[in-house]
Chains A and B, each alone.
Chain A
C-alpha cells in the first residue's frame, strides 16, 4: 500500500466538524464546485461550462464533467426506446438454423439455458447476467431515475438508484455479445443455413441506443438537485436554485 505522508492523518484544519457524528456521514463542503479528480485526486474547481462542453482534469486529463443539453428529456426518450427493443430482443428468437431437415432456434436466454443444462452453471449465470440482467438493470435504473428526477427536488431514493447505474453499465455487455454472435454465425455457416432472427436486429439497434442513452445522460444534473441521504446536510448549495438547473 502506498502510504502517502500526511494522508490519512487527522489534519489540524477541521475545527468546524467537532460534533460527534452518529450517522457516520461526512461533512460536506460549503463550496460545491470544488472536486477532487477521481483518477488523480487533484483538488480543483469545476467551472460552469456551456452545454456540450466538457471539463477535464489539468493533471491527468480525466473528463470531470460533460454538460449535456436537455439531458433528462433526451435520456428519457432514448431509454424508452431502449426498453422497447430490450423486451423485443428477449422475447423473439435471435438465431434460427436449418440443416438436413432439422430446424432450431434460440433466444439470448435460451443460450444461457443450454449452457446450464450442459453442466456449465456458473458460465450460464455469467452470460445471463452480462447479456440480460445488467442491460435490463441499466435501462430500468436509467428510466426510473430520469422520470423521478423531473421533480424539482427528487427524493433520496433516486440517488440510491443512480448509485448503482455505473455497476450495471460496467457489466452490461450487449455489444460484446453481438460480436460473439457474429463469430458464432460465421462458424456455424459452414455446417448449416443460419437465419438471423428479429431479436438480432433489435440487439444491433440496442447497442447504439444504449450508447446514446448513456452519453445523453448528465448525472451531475441529477446529483445537484437530489435530496441528500443525510437529511441534516442541505441539498443544493445556496446560490444554485434547483429550478434553474432544471430549465
Chain B
C-alpha cells in the first residue's frame, strides 16, 4: 500500500509521514513546516513545459557560437561542437570526450529520457518500473555535469584578456546553453518519481514485492 492510498503525506524534506486535515489535499509538515501534497502539483505538465523550453533553447545553444576569440588578425567564433573538435589532441582527447558527453549528449539524453518517463506515466504503464526509476535517478545525478561547458567558457574568457594581442569574449550561444542546463534541472525537479509507481500501486491491491 502507498502513503497516498492511506491518505498520508510524506514530507520530501524531513521524511515525516502525516495526515492532512479532513477533506484537504494540501497541508504543512508539523515537524519542518514544509508544504505537503500527495503528488507534486501538475508535475507532468510542468515537467513537459520545462522540457519544451529546454528543447527550444537546445537549438541556438548548439548552433550559435559560445565564444569569440579576438586577435590581431580578426575575430573567430566557436560553437560547442567546434570547441570539442579544437580540444581533440593526442593529450587532450579525454577532456574533449568529457565535454562532448557533458555538453552535447547529456542534455539531449536528459530531454529524451524525461519525455519517455512522461509518456509512460501518462499512458499508465506498469511495466519496467524499476528500470524507469533507475533512469530517473541517473538523469537526476548526471544532469549537473552539463554545466561543465559554462565553466570552461567562463574561465577561458576570464583568463584570456591580453588586449590588444588576444582576448576572448562570451558569445550569445552561452546564454542558451546555460538555459538548457537550468531548464532540464528544473524539469527533473518538477517530475514526481512516485507517478511512475502509481498505476502499478492502484492495479495491484497487494504490492508484488513483500515488505522487508
Contacts and interface: CB of A to CB of B under 8 A. Distances in A.
Q: Which of B22, B195, B207 has the most CB of A within 10 A?
A: B22
A219 B32 CA distance: 12
Given A6-B202, A60-B197, A173-B147, A43 B8 contact: yes
A10 B22 contact: yes
B30 A229 contact: yes
22 contacts: A1-B44, A26-B21, A36-B3, A36-B8, A38-B12, A38-B194, A40-B129, A40-B193, A99-B165, A104-B162, A106-B155, A111-B158, A173-B144, A177-B147, A177-B151, A179-B102, A180-B151, A183-B148, A187-B83, A187-B87, A188-B159, A223-B14
A181 interface: yes
> What's the dominant secondary structure at chain A's contact region?
mixed
Interface of A: 1-2, 4-11, 13-14, 17-18, 20-21, 23-29, 32, 34-45, 47, 55, 58-62, 64, 95, 97, 99-100, 102, 104, 106, 110-115, 118-120, 122-123, 126-127, 130-131, 156, 159-160, 162-163, 166, 170, 173, 176-177, 179-184, 186-188, 191-192, 194, 219-220, 223, 226, 228-230, 233
B155 A40 contact: no
Number of contact residues on B: which range applies?
35 or more
Interface in B12-56: 12-25, 27-34, 36, 38-39, 42-45
Contacts of B157: 111, 114-115, 118
A163 B2 contact: no
Contacts of A180: 147-152, 154-155
Interface of B: 1-10, 12-25, 27-34, 36, 38-39, 42-45, 83, 86-87, 91-92, 95, 98-99, 102, 121-122, 124, 129-130, 133, 136-137, 144-145, 147-162, 165-166, 169-170, 174-175, 178, 182, 185, 189, 193-199, 201-202, 207, 209-212
Given A36-B2, A36-B10, A176-B148, A114 B158 contact: yes
Contacts of B16: 28, 32, 223
A182 B152 CA distance: 8
Contacts of A191: 160, 166
B17 A34 contact: yes
Contacts of B91: 186
B130 A230 contact: no
A95 B154 CA distance: 12
Contacts of B189: 170
B101 to A, nearest CB: 11
A7 B14 CA distance: 22
B18 A28 contact: yes
Q: Which of A18, A24, A40, A181 has the most CB of B within 10 A?
A: A40
A23 B28 CA distance: 8
A7 B5 contact: yes
Contacts of B158: 106, 110-111, 113-115
A60 B130 contact: yes
Contact of B28 (A26, A40, A106): A26
A41 B197 contact: yes
A64 B15 CA distance: 9
A134 to B, nearest CB: 11
Nearest to B176: A123
A29 B170 contact: no
Contacts of B15: 35, 38, 64, 220, 223
Contacts of B155: 95, 106, 111, 180-181, 184
